[in-house]
Structure 1
Amino acid sequence: MTAFGAVLGLIIAIILIMRKANPAYSLILGAIIGGLAGGVSLPETVNLMVSGVKDVTPAIVRILTAGILAGILIKTEAATKIAETIIDTLGEKRAIFALALSALILTAIGVFIDVAVITVSPIALAIAKRLKISKMAMLCAMIGGGKSGNIISPNPNTIAAAENFGAPLPSVMWVNIIPAIVGLFATILIAKLLVEKGEKVLESEIEQGSGENLPSFFGSIIGPIITISLLALRPIAGINIDPLIALPVGGLVGIVAMGKTSKLKESMEYGLQKMSGVAILLIGTGTVAGIIKNSTLKDVILSVLGKANISEQLIAPIAGALMSGATASTTAGATIASATFSGVILAAGVSAVWGAAMVNSGATVLDHLPHGSFFHSTGGASNTKLEERLKLIPYESAIGFVLALSTFVTYLVIG
């Protein structure tokens, strides 16, 4: 199938998404048009689409079970308690660092990055008002911290990348620890440049929470600790506890430790609702991945990289960045890039773990573009005007670039 068809289908999907059409249906329609335009019959186009969905099915199942931990962290307000504790401990003088670290830890333990930003935003607005920090600096700190945490998290993007490369999820998470730390400090430096830029927080924008009925910090953190400990058994002791088991078990132990089992049903329903949206998006993403994977697009990209004298090892972060820009989604970008280019990346001598890790980091470079939901949800959570939110894009991209570059350099040094 020709590269023209795959590119045309992807462009049509992007245009539809930008015009506020449902992302999953946009991707499915783009896949159909891409297959037909690429010279494949309608039955074969459908077969390729279904094949693409089959490839991401294991990731979808694990993502759905991950909703138990995510839902419990949000609905029991454990995520809020963790964020408040970090910020109170570090103090207002280190506000930028505290906001970035809070978002990093929340995403690293399995909270969606947009939910992490929404969770921290009420605290961030109050701090920004007192210290006269601009909304751009405040939002940059949370987003950059969230991006840094996202590459070491059991979130859908990491699960999808690991699945498509056939790599152990814990290993894909662990190898990005150093890049995540580098990304955190890059975030702090960039956010501090924005402290005086843009509009400031108004008194009317600050929400006064009651602060009542929050769980203890120990109770809040016990679930993520159990999850991470179970996942760590594979690299430490050779005992393989699948994320499908580790994530919900951690959530269930956590809700018992917090004494909030009455919220279990509500938490599971919330987590399933959040993950169902991602699962449906991944189905649409899988159809496009099936088309792209069976087209000559990857050959064209390899040819371009060869003429530009760029190492094939760079395909992983570049593919992640390009696909995250096309879909404005870390999850969709990491899924399409890993499903399409995993074979080429492995053939270039890159291990499955590092290939998945580099794709995952690359997917943070352009996942915040305006045709995705992350752009709008984070802007809304922080009461940031559209023009201010648009101005933040280059800084977010710079943080994503630092993450992708750090993973690549770490791979060269120790991979």
Structure 2
Amino acid sequence: MSYEFTTIGALIGLAIAIFLIIKKVQPAYSLILGALIGGIIGGGGLVTTANTMVTGAQGMMSSVLRILTSGILAGALIKTGAAEKIAETIVDKLGQKRSIAAISIATMIICSVGVFIDISVITVAPIALAIGKKAGLAKSGVLLAMIGGGKAGNIISPNPNTLAASEAFNIDLTALMIKNIFPAVCALIVTVILATLLAKKNKEMIDEKEMELKEDKELPGFLPAICGPLIVIILLALRPLFEISVDPLIALPIGGVLSILITGNRKHLIAYTEFGLSKVIGVSVLLIGTGTIAGIIKASALQYDVTNLLEIMNMPAFVLAPLSGILMAGATASTTAGATISSQTFSSALLSAGVPAISAAAMIHAGSTVIDSLPHGSFFHATGGSVNMSIRERMKLIPYEACVGLASTIASVIIYLI
């Protein structure tokens, strides 16, 4: 089997990228520099390394295009108040007695319809803090409810991580979203159980300062708010139901534009779409950087060495899917980067081993939610900041979050084995 770079070179490149990210260097630049150094150390030479990096980045362009257009939907749901209205309605309907479940389900739904997980948590946070204050819940339990719900929604959403995984395995986005419904439900159940215990056990209660985070603004009605996401779901469901293919590149912006129009914000159409673009630029650039390091790793001997190692240890090949998702997401502290690097690197090895593409993508995707919220990533700080939580307290939630991600990963593996 021929390859351009050595395993040690690819690993050193990845290690350098991780080190730079931890040191707060811009993640995209960290990944690009790590790819360059790893390729040269790996014996590829400057020209081969540069060409491989470019090829890897080019492989991300279809995902980047879909993510850029998905910004229209994200911007519409946030700026029109549709996302907040959906969350508010769910919490109101389930009531104070089921507050933890309501907060988790609300965040799950907001994330599952196309809002990024960190933005989903930030959107739901004011509502969650208000109901948590009334119910006498600890802040840590409330935040875990939002994060766990977001993780559950993330694996059944048209978000960047799902798009990247589906692109790498060349499978239908909707099929991948459907595949992880059961794992998402398992993650939700574990979230509610753990968050409930934590909300009652922890003594750090919500104070009045957190209550000030909620802004008074006019929200649309529930039906106008839910129309945009429903339109997207219907369009994406046409392929599995009627074999009519509507690409996410089309479905997501259509849902976003119609959401803006239906909620009566026609005059803000340009402003809201520009806001949505601003929210996806960062992850789009990150994916380009991810593509460079993924290109080096994919062209290295790493995937062959890992596969051989599994054979020596008498472990089945499918273990590579969830394990790679867990490790890569933990290394980059990003679900999107972890799912992308794992899918791009190990897709051919998993397919060659007879693992169905849809199952491999689902296991990688679920695995990428286990330890993706480590402190060297932005999600850790964004979610902690949404409830004014100290870094020390935020660190204590990481094991609970890992349990939520692990629940969905185990469920995804069980589905494959069955």
* Short-chain TM bin: over 0.9
Q: What is the aligned partner in structure 1 of residue 313 from structure 2?
A: 308
Structure 1 position 412, deviation (Å): 2.0
Q: What is the aligned partner in structure 2 of residue 265 from structure 1?
A: 270
Deviations 1:205-240 (A, max 9, x none): 212646442001100100010001000000000000
Equivalent residue in structure 1 for 2:106, among 102, 109, 112: 102
Equivalent residue in structure 1 for 2:130, among 114, 126, 130: 126
User: Does the CA contact (< 8 Å) of 1:198 and 1:388 recur in 2?
Assistant: no
Q: What is the aligned partner in structure 2 of residue 61 from structure 1?
A: 65
For the residues of structure 2 that align with 1:98 and 1:182, how far apart are their CA atoms? 16
Structure 1 position 309, deviation (Å): 2.3
Mapping for residues 31-42 of structure 1, pairs under 5 Å? 31-42=35-46
Deviations 1:236-289 (A, max 9, x none): 000000000000111112221111112211211111111111110001100000
Question: Residue 239 of structure 1 aligns to a residue in which SS?
Answer: coil
Q: 1:319 to 1:198 in 2, by over 3 A?
A: farther
Establish whether residue 78 from structure 1 lines up as the match of residue 103 from structure 2: no
Question: Residue 60 of structure 2 aligns to a residue in which SS?
Answer: helix
For the residues of structure 1 that align with 2:190 and 2:34, how far apart are their CA atoms? 37
User: Does the CA contact (< 8 Å) of 2:228 and 2:258 recur in 1?
Assistant: yes
- In structure 1, stretches of 5+ residues that fail to align are none
Establish whether residue 2 from structure 1 lines up as the match of residue 6 from structure 2: yes
Equivalent residue in structure 2 for 1:113, among 117, 123, 126: 117
Pairs aligned (count): 413
Establish whether residue 178 from structure 1 lines up as the match of residue 182 from structure 2: yes
Q: What is the aligned partner in structure 2 of residue 229 from structure 1?
A: 234
Structure 1 position 186, deviation (Å): 0.8
Q: What is the aligned partner in structure 1 of residue 279 from structure 2?
A: 274
Q: What is the aligned partner in structure 1 of residue 171 from structure 2?
A: 167
User: Does the CA contact (< 8 Å) of 2:118 and 2:383 recur in 1?
Assistant: yes
Q: What is the aligned partner in structure 2 of residue 140 from structure 1?
A: 144
For the residues of structure 1 that align with 2:67 and 2:87, how far apart are their CA atoms? 24
Structure 1 position 189, deviation (Å): 0.9
Identity %: 53
Deviations 1:304-327 (A, max 9, x none): 322332211121111111110111
For the residues of structure 2 that align with 1:125 and 1:191, how far apart are their CA atoms? 14
User: Does the CA contact (< 8 Å) of 1:324 and 1:363 recur in 2?
Assistant: yes
Farther off after superposition, 196-205 or 185-194: 196-205
Equivalent residue in structure 1 for 2:405, among 371, 375, 400: 400
User: Does the CA contact (< 8 Å) of 1:63 and 1:279 recur in 2?
Assistant: yes
For normalisation by structure 1, the TM-score amounts to 0.98
For the residues of structure 1 that align with 2:407 and 2:171, how far apart are their CA atoms? 24
For the residues of structure 1 that align with 2:313 and 2:408, how far apart are their CA atoms? 23
| Alpha-carbon RMSD | 1.1
Structure 1 position 204, deviation (Å): 2.0
Establish whether residue 376 from structure 1 lines up as the match of residue 394 from structure 2: no
Structure 1 position 385, deviation (Å): 0.9
Question: Match of 1:264, as an amino acid?
Answer: L
Q: What is the aligned partner in structure 2 of residue 342 from structure 1?
A: 347
User: Does the CA contact (< 8 Å) of 1:75 and 1:266 recur in 2?
Assistant: no
For the residues of structure 1 that align with 2:44 and 2:215, how far apart are their CA atoms? 60
Question: Residue 374 of structure 2 aligns to a residue in which SS?
Answer: coil
For the residues of structure 1 that align with 2:57 and 2:380, how far apart are their CA atoms? 26
Farther off after superposition, 344-353 or 233-242: 344-353
Structure 1 position 40, deviation (Å): 1.1
User: Does the CA contact (< 8 Å) of 2:152 and 2:184 recur in 1?
Assistant: yes
Farther off after superposition, 172-181 or 257-266: 257-266
Question: Match of 2:291, as an amino acid?
Answer: G
For normalisation by structure 2, the TM-score amounts to 0.97
Establish whether residue 360 from structure 1 lines up as the match of residue 365 from structure 2: yes
User: Does the CA contact (< 8 Å) of 2:325 and 2:365 recur in 1?
Assistant: yes
Question: Match of 2:101, as an amino acid?
Answer: F
Deviations 1:343-397 (A, max 9, x none): 0111121222222111111110111011000000000011111111001101101
